[in-house]
């Protein structure tokens, strides 16, 4: 098993996600979360909802990378998470309204039928649905596509038509979800570009045969050490303050690596009245 260490850009991404999840958990009164599907998008999987766990929520991760589930234990959150394997992501078997929030980080665009997926997320959530998505309205995206063409790598990053905030907002509305908040996160001073590291990962672990099992590296996740110690680098905290302060809306869209859309079930809205 080849070892890969997550680079500082991924570490910063995890930091702002962590802050955002803790903020949402507090503001929305969240207690139960489903992260589905929770395999890795571009780094170690199974760890994209630890901010919710750290805020006291119980998180159910669906189809995780099991070897990375140890990360929850490393930071003392093993009692806040459960792993579940589900064969049909469109028919999960969860009861209606099982969770306060149904959540996904990036991987939902890899599915064959995202609208159908969103209906299932809506069904199993009693309150909210949150999707975090790669932002193609930033300068790193054309370069990323160019490198895939140049090196002949298959495109494994999902349906790009959903990587635009307007498209996801329309999808939410078509699915019967009220869009209550949307915005951008992970907005550092560099574009979300594909560089030598990404090319190396595609060469080592990509698979041109899409039906064959894909290999993955043994990931080392520096962010877990920061969470365990409660001590984050100064540059990360400073950059994160501006990132979170101006997260709502599209102000940071041209340079943000990610955007999010938070939807609320209409039945939950009516029950509040």
Whole-model pTM?
A: 0.92
Q: How many domains does the chain have?
A: 1
CATH number at residue 184: 3.40.50.150
Range of the domain at 116: 3-272
Identify the band that residue 207 occupies on the pLDDT scale cut at 50, 70 and 90.
Answer: low
Place of tokens 């990610």: 258
pLDDT value of position 254: 94
Segment 135-153 shows an average pLDDT of 86
> What tokens does 248 get?
């709502």
What pLDDT is recorded for position 212?
A: 39
Average predicted confidence (pLDDT) for the chain = 90
Instruction: Write out the DSSP string of 39-76.
Output: S-SSS-SS-TTHHHHHTT-EEEEES--GGGTHHHHHTT
Residues 86-90 have a mean pLDDT of 97
Mean pLDDT over 229-252 rounds to 96
Q: Any idea which of 2-6, 65-69, 237-241 has the lowest mean pLDDT?
A: 2-6
214, pLDDT greater than 70: no
Average of per-residue pLDDT across 181-195: 85
Please state, in angstroms and as integers, the Cα–Cα distance from residue 233 to each residue in 12, 103, 189, following that order: 10, 28, 16
Residue 210 has pLDDT above 60, yes or no: no
Give the tens place of pLDDT for each residue, 12-41: 999 999 999 999 999 999 999 999 999 877
Predicted local confidence at residue 205, as pLDDT: 67
Is 273's pLDDT higher than 70?
A: no
Give 259's strand partners.
133, 184
């Amino acid at each position: 098993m080849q070892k890969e260490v997550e680079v500082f850009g991924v570490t910063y991404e995890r930091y702002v996600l962590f802050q955002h999840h803790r903020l949402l958990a507090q503001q929305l009164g969240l207690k139960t979360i489903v992260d589905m599907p929770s395999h890795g998008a571009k780094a170690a999987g199974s760890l994209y909802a630890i901010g919710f766990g750290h805020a006291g929520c119980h998180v159910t991760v669906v189809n995780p990378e099991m070897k990375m589930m140890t990360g929850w234990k490393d930071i003392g959150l093993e009692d806040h998470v459960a792993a579940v394997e589900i064969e049909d992501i469109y028919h999960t078997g969860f009861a209606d309204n099982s969770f306060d929030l149904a959540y996904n980080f990036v991987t939902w665009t890899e599915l064959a039928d995202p609208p159908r997926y969103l209906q299932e997320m809506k069904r199993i959530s009693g309150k909210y649905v949150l999707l975090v998505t790669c932002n193609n309205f930033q300068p790193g995206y054309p370069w990323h596509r160019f490198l895939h063409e140049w090196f002949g790598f298959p495109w494994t990053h999902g349906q790009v038509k959903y990587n635009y905030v307007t498209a996801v907002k329309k999808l939410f509305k078509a699915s019967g979800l009220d869009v209550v908040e949307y915005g951008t996160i992970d907005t550092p001073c560099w574009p979300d570009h594909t560089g030598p590291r990404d090319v190396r990962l595609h060469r080592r672990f990509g698979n041109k045969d899409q039906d064959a099992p894909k290999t993955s590296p043994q990931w080392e996740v520096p962010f877990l050490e920061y969470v365990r110690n409660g001590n984050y680098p100064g540059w990360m905290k400073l950059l994160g303050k501006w990132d979170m302060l101006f997260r709502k809306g599209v102000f940071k869209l041209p340079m943000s690596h990610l955007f999010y859309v938070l939807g609320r079930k209409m039945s939950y809205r009516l029950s509040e009245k």
